[in-house]
Chain A
Amino acid sequence: MRALLAAALLCSAGTVLAQDHSHHAMPQAQQAAAPDEHAQHRQPATTGTDGDYRPPALTDADRAAAFPDLSGHDMRGHMDDDPFVWMAMADRLEWQAGDAGDALAWDAKAWFGHDRGRLWLRSAGEREQGHAAEGGIEALWGKPLTPWWDVLAGVRHDLGHDGRDWLALGVQGMAPYKFEVQATAWLGEGGQAALQAEVEYELLLANRLILQPRIEATAYARNDPLHGIGSGLSDVEAGMRLRYEIRREFAPYIGIERRHRFGGSAVYARAAGDATTETRWIAGIRMWL
């Protein structure tokens, strides 16, 4: 006991170590049985560098100490190697100044879940001055397919006056050479189907100054005069955005985007007196949580 009491606090000024170390009585509460003396003083192992090593024979006390009863307790709660994680991101939230007027456009997404399955909410669209918002909102379940690709399936609801609903199936991920790719097929009411693919690339002018070319193409299966859509390749947006990441989570940008309408969609546009090509100047913010 003298040895126990001899435990000394040899701290310097001791100002931070304000804790009282003067008491060294044996603790009252013991959660574990004290190790059996036999376990501590058992026959030593036979040591040998020439291959005759034998570990010590185990006692019951050794066995009890080796496999304590954890009453079904495991490492969950202490280490979660697949925690619930979420992310919300406004990839593009921008003001567009175009030949035919200005517009507010967005492309946002959020995901919630675990490594092997996440709920994705995605929304993209725009609201031109004097018009209702156009675009869509999607709820998708995403699973990783390969190290670089996720597959997603779910539903889409169109924003706008007639609010069509679609089934959605897509892939997203990173192609070799670090092209970010997202492709989605939609199957809608009345047998309409659509396919949209977008590819982005990040060119680092500096580590925080990033030039991002982006191209997006949309095609439809059927003519849809009501919505001004012709079958086949309908429209293509090609843009270039230059952002500065003040923080990774917050990056203002400027850019330019050019839109082309093709095929039947171009015909419908011309009939309505709209241009089939348009250039828009852009200023926006990219942010995430």
Chain B
Amino acid sequence: MTDTMPSINRRKLLRGMALGGAATTLGLWREPTWALATTRHMGVLAGTDFDLGIGRMPVNFSGRDAMATTVNGSLPGPILRWREGDTVTLRVRNTLPQVSAIHWHGILLPANMDGVPGLSFHGIEPGGDYLYRFKVRQSGTYWYHGHSSLQEQAGVYGALVIDPREPEPFEYERDYLVLLSDWTDMDPHRLFARLKKRSDYDNLYKRTAGDFLRDVRELGLTAALADRKAWGAMRMSPTDLADVNGNTYTYLANGRTAAGNWTGLFTPGERIRLRFINGAAMTFFDVRIPGLKLTVVAADGQNVHPVVVDEFRIAPAETFDVIVQPADDAAYTVFAQAMDRSGYTRLTLAPRMGMQAPVPPALDKRALLTMQDLGHGGHAMAAPGEMSCGAAMGMPGMEHSAHAGMPMQAHPVSESRNPDVDMQAMSPTPRLDDPGIGRRDNGRKVLRYADLRSFAPPTDGREPSREIELHLTGNMERFAWGFDGIKFSQAEPVRLEYGERVRLTLVNDTMMEHPVHLHGMWSDLEDADGKFLVRKHTVSIPPGTKRSFRVTADAPGRWAFHCHMLMHMEAGMMREVRVEE
């Protein structure tokens, strides 16, 4: 924080030099010149050789003492600063009594360095260590996290910043990390078991009898009844926006609660680069800074053509780099509210320590899911294999003359008569230009995937030679999740041939949003017309949507491909993608 206040002029000077000659910059790079701020909780480790240790430590975020699992005794773990082109060596020691592992999220590397126990390596045994070493072939903002058991939820995560060899297409005078996360005092496995026992435990926002009377008054009895009938027929609730929410979680920014108010300093007029990372296990955040426009310059570490917004939604595992330029000698609140509005966290940008701006007096109104959100085009739909709502509802293999003009989505046979599949989307579309649930009429300009335009063209311009369609499926009540109705442990790997270019299409057959992450290879997100939009490592798939990305299978090995909602992954929403010659 204030302790490591950077030399701004030096930074500017160096940036100028970088533009003038790369060799000079590289020579000077070892100096502590950049302005990445740290807190007492987050140190910066830079260079090519790192010693990391995973262990337990006491924390207190909720007002009660609890134990966290952390890297190098801090939550988040230290910021690791690498340089594109370097070969980095990371020795990770495990002092836990269980196997552990660290995964470098979004990093291109050999499969045995990817850190997924059981796929890439054995995992790090208690008391043991593992030497990760690989060449850094990219730059930007990323993160690392545990990939063994549920250790990520317990605190095994931290930021990765990779400085580019070439100058970036934007300028700034100050550089801060904003790592958002969700903390619970509960043992993560108890939380998982609780979801299995009662998946709606945290949903204290269900519609009540009073809400029904209000809807009758405002919408009329017929409309209110029709709405209740549609949701009742599906046996679901339109308030199911988060499986675990602020009733369980304390939301953190840079390892501080909202009350802890992490503060970053600036001089009015400076351009500040904010590197947002969502390291939460189960939380989507909507982020804004009242009083400032946000210029988004990178997504998932990849530069994009700048887009100016008031707010962005960040899914678990995504990163966004944003530039802001506060002109006034005033404090600003970086406000991150959970997508279901059950809580928030914040941090402050201020000219001087101790200053703070008002926190928005209220969270945004809680949104309700609609049938359109679920890709049902205004109709409720029965679970596959059960006919309970009449002929207007979608059933696999049925005639759908009533829906002429609206393409009906086909579904894998494995979803039929499957207790783990409680819903199917009837007419999902990409909806890349949709602001998303709870943000459609909030009066702010919000970032949508359609706004993201990659700065660089795709490295692989080939048309995909084939398409692999996978459906995100689940049973909310049983808290069972998978692809195509099949859990990871029961599924065959998705096989790719080394070198091939494929289109991966994901159809969301659930009522929740799933950020899907492919290890080891980029996901080149396509627009609705199949054109390249932006390169990502994590692509979020809202309910009722069908989104496609291209993958070049240029990394041989066994890679994890999973929903980054940690508890969904744990429940089986994962596949192995095996790239072989």
Contact = CB atoms under 8 A, between A and B. Distances in A.
Contacts of B50: 7
A7 B46 contact: yes
A51 B233 contact: no
A207 B43 contact: no
Label chain A's interface by main secondary structure. loop
B420 A115 contact: yes
Contacts, number: 277
B367 to A, nearest CB: 17
B87 interface: yes
A10 B557 contact: no
Contacts of B123: 78
B207 A78 contact: no
Interface string B448-486: 000000000111111100000000000101101010000
A205 B209 contact: yes
A194 B427 CA distance: 46
Contact of A34 (B129, B133, B579): B133
Nearest to B499: A55
Interface residues of A, number: 83
Given A51-B462, A78-B148, A147-B421, A15 B197 contact: no
Contact of B87 (A27, A40, A66): A40
B389 interface: yes
Contacts of A288: 197-198
Contacts of B183: none
B505 interface: no
A55 B552 contact: yes
Contact of B209 (A19, A23, A204): A204
B128 interface: yes
Interface in B187-208: 189, 192-193, 196-198, 201, 204-208
Given A58-B581, A76-B118, A147 B43 contact: no
B581 A7 contact: no
B47 A67 contact: no
Contact of A31 (B122, B193, B235): B122
B461 A207 contact: no
A65 interface: yes
Nearest to B573: A81
Contacts of A248: 198, 201
Interface string A247-273: 010000000000000000000000000
A115 B480 contact: yes
Interface residues of B, number: 115
Contact of A13 (B3, B48, B120): B3
Interface string B27-45: 0001010000011111111
B78 A66 contact: no
A61 B460 CA distance: 24
B131 A147 contact: no
Given A35-B133, A87-B197, A148 B477 contact: yes
Given A78-B117, A79-B569, A67 B557 contact: yes
B149 A19 contact: no
B99 interface: yes
B4 interface: yes
A32 to B, nearest CB: 6
Interface string A59-83: 0001101111011011111111111
B49 A7 contact: yes
B409 interface: no
B51 to A, nearest CB: 7
B130 A147 contact: no
A153 to B, nearest CB: 17
Contact of B131 (A8, A17, A30, A74): A30
A148 B122 contact: no
B119 interface: yes
Given A19-B72, A39-B110, A177-B233, A81 B487 contact: yes
Contacts of B457: 49
Given A76-B118, A206-B210, A65 B205 contact: no
A80 B264 CA distance: 40
B420 A147 contact: yes
Nearest to A63: B556
A134 B3 CA distance: 73
A22 B157 CA distance: 23
Interface string B98-117: 01010000000011110011
A286 to B, nearest CB: 12
Nearest to B100: A78
B556 A66 contact: yes
- 6 A-B pairs closest in CB distance: A11-B43, A7-B47, A75-B118, A81-B572, A144-B419, A66-B557
Given A3-B30, A34-B133, 14 more contacts: A11-B43, A16-B41, A31-B131, A32-B113, A32-B121, A48-B460, A52-B461, A53-B462, A70-B118, A78-B101, A83-B189, A85-B197, A144-B478, A147-B418
9 contacts: A3-B86, A31-B121, A52-B462, A55-B499, A62-B556, A66-B579, A78-B148, A81-B488, A178-B232
